[in-house]
Amino acid sequence: MKPAHRLRQIVNAVNLSTPLGLLLAAAGARGPRPAGAPAGLLVAGGYRLPLPAAPAFTVGNVILVRGDAAGLLDRPALLRHEGRHATQYAFCLGPVMIPLYLAAAGASFALCGDYSSYNPFERLAGLDDGGYVRRPLRRFRRSPTS
């Protein structure tokens, strides 16, 4: 494992984001325990809680997947994308990233009608790698003044 990935793993354990991810996996995933993945990540398949609705999401160094965990390992671009989110948790002081991400998703939705296109967390993680399509900004109309 690269030193940067090891450092990310340690920081996310200390900032409690990886333990939070493991708690979510225990509460919301059915199936085997989280399995090791490249770059010090863990993948938990069978996530079944209603939120978030994404097919895969990351909390700390834990990637939670609605389907089979092995399916993520067959998608290296998506795995890199989720790994970048793990790094964002390290830089954002762990669970503090969750409200920051939600605010950015809301701003993106207001700007273009989807939660990812103008969300800086998704853009920095790589929209294409995450399977997102970049949408154009909404056209805001000004009401005519009398």
Residue 45 is part of which domain span?
3-91
Q: Considering the domain boundaries, does residue 108 fall inside one?
A: no
Is there a domain that residue 120 lies in? no
| pLDDT value, residue 114 | 94
81 inside domain = yes
- Is the residue at 25 inside a domain? yes
SS3 assignment, position 130: coil
pLDDT of res. 144: 64
* Structural contact between residues 11 and 90, judged by C-beta atoms closer than 8 angstroms: yes
The three-state secondary structure class of 33 is coil
Q: Is residue 53 part of a domain?
A: yes
Domain count, the chain: 1
Query: Chain centroid to CA 140: how far?
Result: 29
For 130-146, letters b (16+ CB in 10 Å) and e give bebeeeeeeeeeeeeee
pLDDT at 145: 65
Q: Is 11 exposed, middle or buried (0-12, 13-18, 19+ CB in 10 A)?
A: buried
115 found inside a domain: no
pLDDT by 10s per residue, the chain, length 146: 999 999 999 999 999 999 999 999 999 988 778 889 999 999 999 999 998 988 999 999 999 999 888 888 899 999 999 999 999 999 999 999 999 999 999 999 999 999 999 999 999 999 999 999 999 999 876 566 65
Q: What is the pLDDT of residue 33?
A: 83
Say if 28 falls within a structural domain.
Answer: yes
Task: Determine contact, residues 132/50, Cβ cutoff 8 Å.
Answer: no
Give the separation between CA 104 and CA 120, rounded to whole angstroms. 7
Does residue 131 lie within any of the structural domains? no
